[in-house]
Structure 1
Amino acid sequence: MLLLLVLSSGSAPGQQLSAFANGHRIFAGPPDGDGPWMVRAYYSDPEMVRELASRLEPWEVHPDEGYLVAEVDQELFTWMQSIGFRVEVDPALTRLIQQPAAALPSQVNGIPGFPCYRTVEESYITAANIANSYSTLASWLDIGDSWEKTNPGGDQGYDLYVLRLTNSQIAGAKPGLFIMSGLHAREYAPVELNSRFAEYLVENYGDDPDVTWLLDYNEVHLLLQANPDGRKKAESGLTWRKNTDNLYCTNSNYRGVDLNRNFAFQWGLWGGSSGFQCDEVYRGPTASSEPETQAIQNYVRSHFPDQRQDALSAPAPADAEGTFLDLHSYGRLVLWPWGFINQDAPNGSAFQTLGRKFAYFNGYDPQQAYELYPTDGTSDDFAYGELGLAGYTFEVGTTFFQDCNSFENLILPTNLPALLYAAKSARRPYQSPAGPDALNLSIIPNQVAPGNPLQLSATIDDTRYSILGGAEPIQNIAAAEYSLDVPPWSLSPAESTYPLLAADGSFDEQIEAVVAAIDTAGLSLGRHIAYVRGQDAAGNWGPVSASFFSVLDPNIPPAIAFLPVVLKGYNHRVQNTPAVILFDQP
């Protein structure tokens, strides 16, 4: 390796000698100034990474190459060297964090330089408009205050809101999916992903049968901005992570508490957080010290049942309901508990199964959180450890300030299906992911007169898991069934499901085409919905998928339906006439 020695005149002792290696500058001591700098830190023992996690969170960890990437100040630079890291400044990444992006010439909305990402205010306007426009599906709930709002004298601060989505006209207990984003302020993509998911659900309700039943029989709780004070700092280009609590590391850009080290469960007990106020993983003075953390915990506790005993070894029941997702960036990872100990959670096998299912959709690496580095006081450990929810973290994308092209073409289209699956499986997150998926539902013809039969077909597939990090057990398909207008779990004792048969005559493969004839005699006029699910040879039932069909009075001529039209490459609206389609050019 070629080393080019450089003498820096006027530097302090210990800072004079530096060298270039592989394009990165290596310093015998910290560089001049206070930082921050982006560094590559090389290690010889994985335990060094775990020790590092008590002071900071690496941006990237590359175990195969023995280095990590982190943002450090002068004190952390010296400390990392003292515990054995070889530290190299990365000039390109350092310039990136020191030179915030400017607004694009034609940009009107969004974060400067990133028009695809809504600001705090814009995301709030979006959610409020959803609640106003879809009043039977959406409610916009004030769940608490940010630190700035509870401490007058500084910035104005914000309310924390949850956008709750469900069909309020269908009563009864419903399983829940909670998705949170923006807990770490500098992570741009997760908030927009969560916002787009909200828009997708309400805009497709009534047209997409799966979205329709998801909101009919589930509650989806979306906390778009979990740390709005910090997010406002990050919108200026600062790599702000924590909230803005000015009691700690006062009046600096390092102030605040890491909200994802501040949750009550196992707070500060395992070396996965810091007691130093200026560190980016500072856990706060006490568990749940921050108003944002308190608001989140109180909301989740009030909307999800406690299904797990307190002992670390106690599993949640196999039929527990409810899923908790915390969206972060970055790293292309699907993570599950525990984060604080190198030991499987009591529901570890089921966590792995659902994690591999999520990773099938987004292509990320599924793993237990501790494999990355230890953390304590985190949101997903709280959700699982205290309540028994299936708690996960998605680390989306490849950088904090992800470019819009990557977001629109990679992050969004691969993660939306994963979020939809989270909603589909929220009724039994520890059971249904082990079962097969019901795909390619088709009902022919789609409209019939009463008494005329319909042909229902589908594909039942037990193979759809990520193979990154290991293979999930898969089985042959053993059965498939459907129900009409009511999902299988809500049928009365007088109602029943109906079998679908293997199209080739026998259930003996891991992917099976299935068929059934639907008898429409006795069905009311109007639109109906068929729910389909499959079972594998191990007895696991997968989640349902759905399809619409209609029973029409043959004596009444069909009316013209004014339905949304989707044409690739255009944004469009359809006027209230079948003949006129107005296009907005892209």
Structure 2
Amino acid sequence: MGRSGMRSTLCGVAMAGLPTSMHEVPATWSARVVLNSAHDAAMLARVAGHYGLAAGSESGDRHEVAVVELGAHALTALRNAGVAVEVDEMETARIARFQAQQGPSHASPSTPSRSQRSAVPNAFHSVSACYRGVSRIQTDMEELERHYPQLARVTLVGQTWSQRQATTLRDLATRVLPARWAAALPDRFGRGRRYGIVALVLGNRMALRRRAMPRMVITAGLHARELASSEAAMRFAEWLVRGYGQDATATWLLDHNEFHFVVHANPDGRAMAEQGVLARGGGWRKNLNVVDGHCSTSPVDSGVDLNRNFVHGWGGNSPHASSNDPCDETYRGPAPLSEPESQALTQYIAGIRGDDGEYHGGVLRDLRAERNDGDGSNVMRADYPGPADYPGLYVDLHSFGGWILWPDGGGGVSALAQRMAWHTRYRATQRLHYPVEGESTAMFRAALGVPALVVELAKSFYEPCYEFQRTTLPPALDALRYAARTLRAPRMLARGPDVTSVRLSAARVRQGEVVTIAATLDGDRYRYDRGLRGQPAVPRNLPRRVLTAHASVRVMPDDASVRPIALRVIERRGAAAEVSGTLDTTHLPAGRHLVFVQGVGWGGVRGAPDAVFLDIAP
């Protein structure tokens, strides 16, 4: 499309209900990019390499369709390259209205009024009130620690770039923002944060003292404008803590595992995004490194993309996986781990790399099956796989697109990804329409051998609260709950039959009574996706027929110290089965117990367990 066609499209969208303060040209466009050829796909990858696009996907019989949110520069680049781009006028108008309510960057170009300045600290109005900001999340974490001291604690992960400079976010913002925007920021902007990057650590402290636990690490908000990722992480953490003692699944997960939530991995950038400070093509994405990442042509595009700054793959061979231009949204920084945020996350999760090539002291253990070959090289080796029964999982939450992804050489996590995709109805595949290098999941998979996944939530960077809470959040929590139930060995347990429900003939009995245990198991529950055209084929995990099931009390059925109760199959429905057995409570002490059930498929492959409460009276 030529310039005249582009101008007519701009005018058409400007008339579709956009606020006049948007100057008739939106900052963010919602569009469908039709990939009819390899050229189209290459151009989308090239544009994504500069503008940090996120993309959902719609499959056609003869082509792929990427659903993207992009700025005018990226839209023009695709159009000039001859790629078919269809603007969604209604969604573009909705995004513009969302952005217009967020802060000073969409206010009148004149000097802001006193009322406008006073409104900035509460920039998240009703349209986005469900997305808690940095200060609110840290306050809520501290409240959980105060109310549940045996289950929750807040710990410092590390500093942000602005804290390293010993200055305030407001002072830094004045370097990169137009004067009329910077003037609207409150004096206390950025000073309410008592910490830098913090983690909420969950687990039953009494149980943790007795034995080493599998650990799940969830990071969110590496890209500041991705509001849904941080909120989903915090909602999952709150479900775990508040469900303890009330919900059997939440209770046994905290008794048998440890969880680490870095809800805002980029708090500097998120603080900018909370003020409605928009960079090219959308909300603030990068961190606030306005020195190495200074963009002279467009100061509001400054910063480093933290998810291109990790060691593994940094500055690799793919020309569009990251950028060396500070003005691009995928700017990878001057060196791997150049940013305090990526340094802090690496040290917290992996630890410090020793002369032997192994990492020590992190939350997740280095359990790569092979070690450094003794040549003294410090180069990251991506071909050191972790063991099949690695006890732990790393999940990095992003938005948007509806994807569940794993890094190259992901080490057999496709089954887990397809299980989680069954809950969310997302697409589970290894790669997107565009390459990514220097990202966190590839880093920790390669450095530690840990199973690692990316979950791209939501349908927009600016998803309304009613849609997030009704459509996006519930299945996302289901998927995270399932993943947590596999923590003893995610690569293996995701291949076995899943326990979809556990029932007892009576939830409260007297000591000595016999209880019937019934459960439903499903050996399928995979959502298979062949992957995008031109990408490596995705392994298909076939349904595994239920062979039998085991039950136990207080400890897992596969624990070496327990003699499990055999449950027999009483009905089959394809890959699903109903199982049943009996439990004699004569030798069980009075009190509340967890009754576990775990399925076993053909080949002896076990699945993710689940549990139910049983109360025994004397």
For the criterion TM > 0.5, the same-fold answer is: yes
Matches within 5 A, 1:41-440: 44=37, 45=39, 46-60=41-55, 64=63, 69-72=68-71, 74=73, 85=83, 100-102=99-101, 111-112=124-125, 113-155=127-169, 156=190, 158=193, 159-170=196-207, 171=209, 172-237=211-276, 238=278, 239-247=283-291, 248-250=293-295, 252-271=299-318, 272-301=321-350, 302-308=362-368, 309=370, 311-338=381-408, 345=409, 347=411, 350-368=412-430, 370-440=431-501
**Secondary structure of the corresponding residue to residue 169 of structure 1:** helix
Q: Aligned in 2, Cα 1:233/1:460: closer, same or farther, shift over 3 Å? A: same
Q: Deviations over 1:193-251 (max 9, x none)?
A: 11111111111101111111100110011011111111111112331111111112257
Q: Secondary structure at the match of 1:454?
A: strand
Look up the equivalent residue of 2:495 and give its one-letter code.
Answer: A
CA contact (8 A) 2:400 2:458 kept: yes
The 1-side partners of 2:498 and 2:382 are apart by 32
Question: What's the CA shift for 1:89?
Answer: 7.3
Instruction: Determine what percentage of the aligned residue pairs are the same residue.
Output: 31
Aligned equivalents of 2:607, 2:28: Cα separation in 1? 48
Q: 1:486 to 1:22 in 2, by over 3 A?
A: same
Structure 2 Cα separation of the partners of residues 89 and 437 of structure 1: 42
Quote the residue 1:574 is aligned against.
none
Structure 1 counterpart of 2:570, which letter? A
How many Å separate the matches in 1 of 2:2 and 2:163? 52
> 1:329 is matched by which residue type in structure 2?
S
Matches within 5 A, 1:490-505: 490-492=559-561, 495-504=562-571
Would you say how many aligned residue pairs link Structure 1 and Structure 2?
Answer: 522
Q: 1:20 to 1:509 in 2, by over 3 A?
A: closer
Specify every segment of 5 or more residues in structure 1 that has no aligned partner in the other structure, as ranges: 8-16, 26-31, 339-344, 554-586
Q: Does 1:453 align with 2:514?
A: yes
Q: TM-score, normalised by structure 1?
A: 0.82
Which region of structure 1 is more displaced relative to structure 2, 249-258 or 305-314?
Answer: 305-314
Give the 3-state SS of the residue equivalent to 2:389 in structure 1: coil
Partners of 1:94 and 1:447 lie apart in 2 by 55
Give ranges in structure 2 of 5+ residues lacking alignment. 15-22, 104-118, 170-189, 351-361, 371-379, 531-537
State the superposition RMSD in angstroms.
3.2
**CA distance in 2: counterparts of 1:24 and 1:306, whole angstroms:** 52
Q: Larger helix proportion, structure 1 or 2?
A: 2
Q: 1:511 to 1:270 in 2, by over 3 A?
A: same
Moved more, 478-487 or 46-55: 46-55
Equivalent residue number for residue 18 of structure 2: none
In structure 2, C-alpha distance between the alignment counterparts of 1:428 and 1:147, rounded to whole Å: 36
Give 1:80 shift.
5.2
Q: CA separation in 2, counterparts of 1:110 and 1:206? A: 37
Partner amino acid, structure 1, of 2:596 = Y
Question: Residue 531 in 1 paired to residue 580 in 2?
Answer: no
Structure 2 letter corresponding to 1:354: L
**CA deviation string 1:477-512 (max 9, x = no partner):** 1111111111234442xx3112111225xx795222
Deviations 1:20-71 (A, max 9, x none): 599679xxxxxx9999563756664222233334322223365735666453
Of 33, 38, 42, which aligns to 2:29?
38
Shift of 1:448: 2.1
Residues 4 and 21 in structure 1, CA contact (< 8 A), matched pair in contact too: no
Q: 2-side partners of 1:393 and 1:187: how far apart?
A: 13
Q: Counterpart of 2:429 in structure 1: which amino acid?
A: Q
Question: Would the aligned equivalents of 2:384 and 2:449 in 1 still touch at CA under 8 Å?
Answer: no
Which segment is superposed worse, 161-170 or 481-490?
481-490
Contact map agreement 1:441 1:547 (CA 8 A) in 2: yes
Q: Which residue of 2 aligns with 1:578?
A: none
Q: Secondary structure at the match of 1:430?
A: helix
Deviation track 1:288-339 (CA, whole Å, cap 9, x = no partner) reads 111111111111111111122464344321111211111111011111112x
Moved more, 84-93 or 242-251: 84-93
For the Cα contact (< 8 Å) 2:502–2:519, is it kept in 1?
yes
Q: Deviations over 1:372-421 (max 9, x none)?
A: 31000011111211111111111111110110111110111111111111
Quote how far apart the aligned CAs of 1:98 are.
6.0
Question: Quick one: distance in 2 between partners of 1:455 and 1:107?
Answer: 59
C-alpha change, 1:291 and 1:97, in structure 2 (3 Å) is: farther
Question: What SS class does the counterpart of residue 393 from structure 1 fall into?
Answer: strand
- 1:506-545, CA deviations, whole angstroms, 9 ceiling, x for partnerless residues? x795222111111112211112221110111132100111
Aligned equivalents of 1:391, 1:407: Cα separation in 2: 24
SS of aligned partner of 2:143: helix
3-state SS, counterpart of residue 503 of structure 1: strand
CA distance in structure 1 between the partners assigned to 2:367 and 2:198 by the alignment: 25
Give the Cα separation in 1 of the matches to 2:91 and 2:617: 63
Q: CA deviation at 1:431?
A: 0.2
Helix, strand or coil for the counterpart of 2:231? helix
Structure of larger gyration radius: 1
Distance 2:424 2:597 in 1: 24
1:1-22 deviations in Å (ceiling 9; x for gaps): xx99959xxxxxxxxx955599
The verdict on how the C-alpha distance between 1:153 and 1:519 changes in structure 2, with shifts beyond 3 A counting, is closer
The 2-side partners of 1:60 and 1:533 are apart by 37
Say if 2:550 is the partner of 1:550. Answer: no
Ranked by relative contact order (alpha carbons within 8 Å, sequence separation 6 or more), the top structure is 2
Match of 1:28 in 2: none
For residues 557-578 of structure 1, give each alpha carbon's deviation from its aligned partner in whole angstroms, at most 9, with x where no partner exists. xxxxxxxxxxxxxxxxxxxxxx
CA contact (8 A) 1:435 1:541 kept: yes
2: distance between equivalents of 1:305 and 1:4?
Answer: 55
Distance in 1, matches of 2:235 and 2:120, equals 20
Question: SS of the counterpart of 1:323?
Answer: strand
